[in-house]
């Protein structure tokens, strides 16, 4: 059973864990996430040596390899500041699975300390920063896709929509498949491409049927998968990481 997260007062400093997909494909989303935090008066520290959280190996069953990758991250956050992750999947890995991955090892206590300080970006903005946005964009109909890990492992189905609801010119439309997987699932899309393609086809159809002109998500894997499918279909619907969308409309 998922434990209830107790939220602290807004801190002066936080760490930012950027994730592989942001580093390689969507660096602007990481920069925009940092800007959102800095605008709240928080100093953001980005450890230069960060790499992968280990999720890809872990969910593929390679736990020893995942442990080796994850172990390289444990020493990057020595101070007791919150660790902000702009991804529910990486956040879920670090918060939920690090204690399991290092259970019974000399680094178990360190892994548990890291896990307790993990916050997904939208979660932190809503529950710790208590942000208030003023929308500066044009009217637009938007669909929100919350990743499976954010929704089920971290219990964060409502934080993204709560932030979008503050944007007065945005109409958040509800897709009928809102709680369903987009088909990415990390290595799932590689190992089962036909099933993944069918799932993302359903997802794009649902987003379009809801009347969305744009969609946002807090996970770059989902963004890549859904936006790529829309592009393949030659549809006008475009996608964006929620950090970039919020920054663009409020700055």
Averages of pLDDT over runs of 10 residues in the chain (251 residues) are 74 98 97 98 98 95 97 97 97 97 98 98 98 98 96 95 98 95 88 94 97 97 96 96 98 96
Is there a domain that residue 7 lies in? no
Q: Are residues 24 and 104 in the same domain?
A: yes
Q: How far apart are the first and last CA of the chain?
A: 39
> Are residue 246 and residue 180 in the same domain, yes or no?
yes
How high is the pLDDT of residue 45? 98
In this structure, the answer to whether residues 101 and 146 fall within a common structural domain is no
Distance CA 215, CA 107 (A): 40
Residue 12 DSSP label: S
Domain, as residue range, for 114: 13-127
Looking at 42-172, list the stretches that DSSP marks H as alpha helix, in order from N- to C-terminal side.
Answer: 55-59, 63-74, 88-92, 98-101, 108-116, 121-127, 148, 159-164
Task: Identify the pLDDT of residue 218.
Answer: 95
pLDDT at 187: 83
pLDDT at 5: 77
In this prediction, residue 1 carries a pLDDT of 39
Q: Is residue 182 part of a domain?
A: yes
The total number of structural domains that make up the chain: 2
Please name the residues in contact with 3: beta carbons below 8 A apart, sequence gap of 6 or more: none
pLDDT at 4: 59
Residue 17, domain member (yes or no): yes
pLDDT score, position 212: 98
């Amino acid at each position: 059973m998922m434990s209830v997260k107790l939220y602290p007062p807004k801190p002066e400093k936080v760490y930012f864990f950027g994730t592989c997909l942001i580093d390689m494909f969507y660096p602007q989303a990481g920069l925009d996430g940092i800007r959102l935090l800095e605008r709240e008066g928080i100093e953001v520290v980005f450890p230069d040596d960060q790499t992968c959280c280990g999720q890809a190996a872990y969910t593929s069953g390679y736990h020893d390899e995942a442990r080796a990758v994850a172990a390289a991250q444990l020493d990057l956050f020595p101070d007791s500041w919150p660790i902000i992750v702009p991804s529910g999947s990486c956040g879920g890995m670090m918060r939920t699975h690090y204690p399991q991955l290092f259970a019974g090892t000399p680094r178990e206590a360190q892994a548990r300390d890291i896990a307790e300080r993990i916050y997904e970006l939208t979660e932190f903005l809503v529950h710790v920063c208590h942000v208030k946005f003023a929308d500066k964009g044009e009217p637009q109909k938007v669909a929100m896709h919350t990743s499976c890990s954010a929704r089920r492992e971290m219990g964060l189905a409502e934080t993204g929509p709560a932030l979008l609801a503050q944007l007065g010119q945005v109409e958040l439309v509800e897709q009928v498949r809102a709680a369903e997987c987009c088909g990415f699932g990390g290595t799932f899309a590689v190992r089962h491409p036909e099933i993944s393609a069918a799932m993302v086809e359903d997802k794009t159809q649902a987003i379009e049927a809801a009347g969305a002109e744009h969609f946002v998500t807090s996970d770059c894997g989902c963004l890549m998968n859904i936006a790529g499918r829309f592009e393949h279909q030659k549809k006008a619907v475009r996608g964006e990481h929620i950090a970039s969308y919020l920054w663009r409309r409020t700055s």
